[in-house]
Amino acid sequence: MAASVGLQPSAAMKTLRKQWLEALGAYQYVLTFLFMGPFFSLVLFFLLFTSLWLFSVLYLVWLYLDWDTPSQGGRRFQWMRKRMMWKHLRDYYPVKLVKTRELPPDRNYVLGAHPHGIMLPGIFCNFSTEGNDFSQHFPGLQPWLTALANLFYFPVYREYLMSNGVRPVSRQSLDFILSQPQLGQTVVIVVGGAHEALYAIPGEHCLMLRKRKGFVRLALRHGASLVPVYSFGENDIFRSKAFATDSWQHWCQVSFKKLMGFSPCIFWGRSLFSASSWGLLPFAMPITTVVGRPIPLPRCLHPTEEEVDHYHMLYMEALEELFEEHKESCGVPASTRLTFI
């Protein structure tokens, strides 16, 4: 039976101070996601031409010496994962976590998270923080949310990501995590990646999955169980401009993504001070992250294409089953179907 956590009081019951704290929690997440990396890159560059140049030089030396740390376990701090700010972020939408099966800590897991959305606050809140008390509901598991490896090139921002348990989505990093002697290692991979953000349209459920099989090969190499995860509402918190796949605008977006690693989406939310004005504050739409049943996989260091295809198909079927079982309780019309591309 599914167990839901993260139930919060209605907006009418919240004090004005609480509402502001929630909005600020959501807003800081957006600003950090978009601007923290570029901001500190510019600060370090600027300081090189001032009397404080030594700070930049020392940090760059540290960055050189510490370059491989994100792929070799990183530095996670529990106090960062337990900050009250994440509770406010959770309550703003609100974000819920639904547990449908036990995940025993006597094995490792590869969680495929869907969809990517624009900024995936639900997935971040549930797996990279203790906003919904992940460690209490899945005792013994060590969750590691993975992100684009290029993000760890940004000074200071890399420290912020690592402190929350975020790791690069690279083979070296993932193999390191799943090779640890302590079982219960749980890798969370947003399978659709940055490309899927181009399909983050409210009310749509379109996933980049048919050709994404690397996470299945990873699970087979380590004998980890595959677990489908669907985050209902992740596409609804921003409005976005979608271009036809045969348009020059879409071609530019895809080309930019191939070059830089992330998709230049056109999106907007509401203003911090007015719900009717344009801004970067997400709309307060409920996000429900449902963790499905584990699919046991054998350990196979060199899986064949047939084996990969077989378990990939089982995974797609389990994900579709999870979606169908929970969509109506999460406000999705019964006629809606998942679309795999």
Q: How high is the pLDDT of residue 140?
A: 96
159-164 long-range Cβ contacts below 8 angstroms, 24+ apart: 159/75, 160/32, 160/36, 161/70, 162/69, 162/70, 162/74, 162/75, 162/76, 163/75, 163/76, 163/77, 163/80, 164/76, 164/80, 164/81, 164/124, 164/128, 164/129
Share of the chain above pLDDT 90, in %: 80
Residue 4 lies in a domain: no
State the Cα angle at 151 between 112 and 175, rounded to 5°. Answer: 50
Q: How high is the pLDDT of residue 5?
A: 53
Between 231-235, 244-248, 321-325, the lowest mean confidence (pLDDT) is in 244-248
CATH number of the domain that 265 lies in?
3.40.1130
Residue 167 lies in a domain: yes
Burial-class residue 66 by CB neighbours within 10 Å (0-12, 13-18, 19+). Answer: middle
The closest of 117, 133, 219 to 175, measured between CA atoms, is 219
* Residue 283: DSSP 8-state: P
pLDDT(86) > 70: yes
Between 79-93, 96-110, 184-198, 240-254, the lowest mean confidence (pLDDT) is in 240-254
Residue 50 lies in a domain: yes
338 and 207 in contact (C-beta within 8 Å)? yes
Q: How high is the pLDDT of residue 194?
A: 82
| Mean predicted confidence (pLDDT) in 156-180 | 96
Residue 2 lies in a domain: no
pLDDT(1) > 60: no
Residue 6 lies in a domain: no
Q: How high is the pLDDT of residue 324?
A: 97
For 210-234, the pLDDT digits (tens) are 999 999 999 999 999 999 999 999 9
Give the chain's radius of gyration (CA, Å). 20
Q: How high is the pLDDT of residue 11?
A: 54
Q: How high is the pLDDT of residue 264?
A: 77
Please report which confidence band the pLDDT of residue 80 belongs to, taking 50, 70 and 90 as the band edges.
very high
Average pLDDT of the chain is 92
For 39-75, the pLDDT digits (tens) are 999 999 999 999 999 999 999 999 999 999 999 988 9
pLDDT(141) > 80: yes
Q: How high is the pLDDT of residue 245?
A: 77
What span, in angstroms and rounded, lies between the C-alpha atoms of 185 and 108?
5
Q: How high is the pLDDT of residue 242?
A: 76
Please report which confidence band the pLDDT of residue 262 belongs to, taking 50, 70 and 90 as the band edges.
low
| Mean predicted confidence (pLDDT) in 122-130 | 97
Q: How high is the pLDDT of residue 9?
A: 52
Taking the CA atoms of residue 14, residue 18, residue 23 and residue 29 in that order, the dihedral angle to the nearest 10 degrees is -130
Find the domain containing 288 and state its range.
12-340
Q: How high is the pLDDT of residue 68?
A: 95
Q: How high is the pLDDT of residue 10?
A: 54
pTM score, whole prediction: 0.91
Residue 3 lies in a domain: no
Q: How high is the pLDDT of residue 2?
A: 61
Q: Please indicate whether residue 318 or residue 73 has the higher confidence score (pLDDT).
A: 318
| Mean predicted confidence (pLDDT) in 284-311 | 96
pLDDT(4) > 70: no
What span, in angstroms and rounded, lies between the C-alpha atoms of 19 and 139?
31
Share of the chain above pLDDT 70, in %: 95
Residue 209 lies in a domain: yes
Domain count, the chain: 1
